[in-house]
Structure 1
Amino acid sequence: MRDRVQTARARPAAGGPSALRELLERVERATPAGRDRAIDGLRALAIAGVVLGHWLVTALVADSGTLRGASPLRELPAFTPASWLFQTLAVFFLVGGLVAARGRARAEQGFRAWLRRRLARLFAPVMAVAAVWSVIAVTMLARGVAVDTVLALAALVWSPLWFLLVFGALTALTPVAARIGPAWPVAVVALVDLVRFWLGGPGWLGWVNVIAGWLVPYCLGASWAGGLPSRRTGWALLLGGAAATAVLVLWAGYPASMVGVPGAAVSNLDPPTLAAVTFGLAQCGAARLLAGPLRRALRRPLAWAAVAVVNVHAITIFLWHQTAMIAVTALGLLTGGILPGLHTAPDSAAWVAARLAWLPVFGAALVACCALAGVKRPGRAGG
């Protein structure tokens, strides 16, 4: 579908409502008749959650001529539910496992050729980010920008890229993911947590969960490749996962935040804990329940066109969304003032309100970054 949507968007059209209508018709015609639009809708929701989550829980504070990273989750515990809404990684891995398993089943080439093609599509866009940020970092240092500022900005851009490494590793495990199912990786995560939290085991053991933890939704998605399970299964995952997460948070001492909080002794995400896994299972259940409503909603041409475009450029959006926020923050400094919600400490409800007002600006900057990154180049089908 990606090739067809790219072609549909590339054709010139006159401006005005008729041009929009023509574009929507082209995207509609480019969509295969049997495509399950709910899967694309879930992927779009997942990438939107990641982007909005990073923009809301990450702040760059102007402090004595430098920029330092901060998080409202540390200063505003009441903001914790935001991490429940916007930490959507399990849905991304769920959809990834489902799409990879379906794509592998349809592929005519051998596994190695299929894997090489998928990994190239996954990692090729990283080269542009690496090149741009190498130039930015060298230029900033040459102009006397504080090293701490450069490191803080680079960390915002590079730290989320662990996701691509894990996704690539799980893609290589696609042939066995559907066969082993999610129960075994859940057991591995539980055992690792038991050893490191209760039996005095080494902290480094938690990094086993980076693969095992995200293998849970990936395996679940691969097992759904032949068709989505019943709504009863969706409710079981949602309610069971939510109940297990509540027990782990309220009585086992796991953090309530589903993302890392600066200064916290334990993070549910870095590396993943059993609470992150059970929370992810609840999200997978919610995704199954949302599939029907999404499928109906995406019959509307405008909604489907928006989702199709996001899916075509999902990796580009992921790679450049932090750069967009940084660009707006840096341009804001050129005004000569400290702008609320952009350069101020995230320690009040006023900061949250101001930050929400900046989100459309970040979105516009992201569109510009994606355009400069060359998102109109011919792509390949999304699988």
Structure 2
Amino acid sequence: MPEPTTRAPFLRGIRQAAGRVDAATPASRDRAVDALRAFAILGVVLGHWLVTALVVDDGTLHTASPLQHMPWLAPVSWVFQTLAVFFLVGGHVATQGYASARSRGTSYGAWLRGRLSRLFRPVAAVLTLWTVVATALLVSGVPYDTVHTLVKLALSPMWFLLVFAALTAATPLVGRLNPLWPLAVVLHVDILRFGLGVAPSWLGWVNLAAGWLVPYTLGAAWTRGELEGRRAGWVLLLGGAAATAALVAWAGYPASMVGVPGTAVSNLDPPTLAAVTFGLAQCGLALLLRDRLRGALRRPLAWAAVALVNLSAMTIYLWHQTAMMATTATALPAGRLPGLHTLPDDLGWVASRLTWLPVFALALAVCWTAFRCYEQPRGRRSHVVRSHRPSPGRAVVAKRHV
């Protein structure tokens, strides 16, 4: 039987590569942090692929969501809306990194430039490509509405980067802020907006900073050792889940934790109190899973997969919408394909969309191959693993998440 013989060297090569990644990882690195970041990024990617549809209508493309037509699918958004976990990890890593930089005598400006360059370097490639694509589409006569839809979808992930960059820059100021303070701001803004109905429309955007500051400052509290043990995780999980359920059941907040076209209120645009309490529940669950993740990631194969996602986290995040749109566009000559170009109004669309996910992943892999160099320039040392193999018998030098 030749197949096992052919497969064995391939599997052995994967295990050997995973072993090298495992051996090159500093012993002090908290692998659970990287796992939570990877889950957060992949959750957003899969969520967008599942709830965003590009529908062909009268020669133009426009976005639609299965949550519009099947609101009972709202629990799907509870699984894949994972931004709070990303801000939790971001606050933890930034606070830890800033403290480490200060201990080495690194200035605030140098530390901030280093963090933001890693964050925004991949953005330049996305903006350049889509400027060229949008210009070419308009010149070739593609309807403006279609171009606007595509560009908006491609660039929509960047809103989060601006908020994250602002919070990163404010780390020295907010690193010791109690999360209850930004939570109180969100509560009062929502009382004015929805309870009393006296707030101007712009006031809700205060929550864009205050809402994501809650998990970010929780991450800083994690760095200070204030969230150790399982009690904090259970309080956040149960308290956040109960508060979210009450807000949805009795206060009129939407059940979906992502935006749904055509609805009067979105839990994310800007963040509402329900989105923030839901994020607290997610952060609690993340804290409870830390020990299990650390144990699971002692296995080289599991750690290598997590490390690979972390090395390309921004590339994956910034290009996943482009991968979906590229698949949709290249398949247009084949006609209106179910789950790709059709209205997401029944379970048949959902079943068809699931079959397209591997194709989206393949398209994203192509984007990753082409553009990952902007996130990890050649010759630049990795912040996840070492760039060289440690010498046999030599202890791995400790390295924190900086």
Which TM bucket (shorter chain)?
A: over 0.9
Take 1:377 and 1:180, find their aligned partners in 2: how far apart are those partners?
35
Decide which moves more: 90-99 or 133-142: 133-142
RMSD over aligned Cα atoms: 1.4
Q: Which residue of 1 aligns with 2:390?
A: none
Q: What is the aligned counterpart of 2:132 among 127, 131, 135?
A: 135
Query: Which ranges of structure 2 fall in alignment gaps of 5 or more residues?
Result: 1-8, 385-401
TM-score (norm 1): 0.94
* C-alpha contact 2:312 2:372 (8 A) present in aligned 1: no
Give the number of aligned pairs: 369
Asked if 1:169 is matched to 2:166, the reply is: yes
Identical amino acids, percent of aligned pairs? 64
Asked if 1:80 is matched to 2:77, the reply is: no
Take 1:207 and 1:75, find their aligned partners in 2: how far apart are those partners?
28
Which residues in structure 2 correspond to 1:339-350 (within 5 Å)? 339-350=337-348
Q: CA deviation at 1:309?
A: 0.6
Which residues in structure 2 correspond to 1:306-325 (within 5 Å)? 306-325=305-324
Take 1:198 and 1:174, find their aligned partners in 2: how far apart are those partners?
32
Asked if 1:160 is matched to 2:157, the reply is: yes
Q: CA deviation at 1:308?
A: 0.2
Q: Which residue of 2 aligns with 1:352?
A: 350
Asked if 1:287 is matched to 2:286, the reply is: yes
* C-alpha contact 2:19 2:301 (8 A) present in aligned 1: no
> Which residue identity lines up with residue 42 of structure 1 in the other structure?
L
TM-score (norm 2): 0.89
Q: Which residue of 1 aligns with 2:399?
A: none
What are the Cα deviations for residues 220-278 of structure 1, in whole angstroms up to 9, with x where unaligned?
00110144521111011000000001111111111111111111111110000111110
Decide which moves more: 175-184 or 161-170: 175-184
What are the Cα deviations for residues 309-337 of structure 1, in whole angstroms up to 9, with x where unaligned?
101110111100000000110111132x1
Asked if 1:181 is matched to 2:183, the reply is: no
Q: Which residue of 1 aligns with 2:219?
A: 221
Asked if 1:212 is matched to 2:214, the reply is: no
What are the Cα deviations for residues 38-81 of structure 1, in whole angstroms up to 9, with x where unaligned?
11110010001100011011000111221111111111111111
Q: Which residue of 2 aligns with 1:4?
A: none
Q: Which residue of 2 aligns with 1:381?
A: 383
Q: What is the aligned counterpart of 1:106 among 91, 100, 120?
A: 100
Q: Which residue of 1 aligns with 2:364?
A: 366
Q: CA deviation at 1:148?
A: 0.7
For 1:263, what is the secondary structure of its paired residue? Answer: coil
Take 1:28 and 1:83, find their aligned partners in 2: how far apart are those partners?
34
* C-alpha contact 2:61 2:146 (8 A) present in aligned 1: yes
Take 2:15 and 2:288, find their aligned partners in 1: how far apart are those partners?
31
Query: Which ranges of structure 1 fall in alignment gaps of 5 or more residues?
Result: 1-14
> Which residue identity lines up with residue 371 of structure 1 in the other structure?
T
* C-alpha contact 1:259 1:267 (8 A) present in aligned 2: yes
What are the Cα deviations for residues 160-210 of structure 1, in whole angstroms up to 9, with x where unaligned?
210000000000111232311201000011111111222211111000000
* C-alpha contact 1:183 1:216 (8 A) present in aligned 2: yes
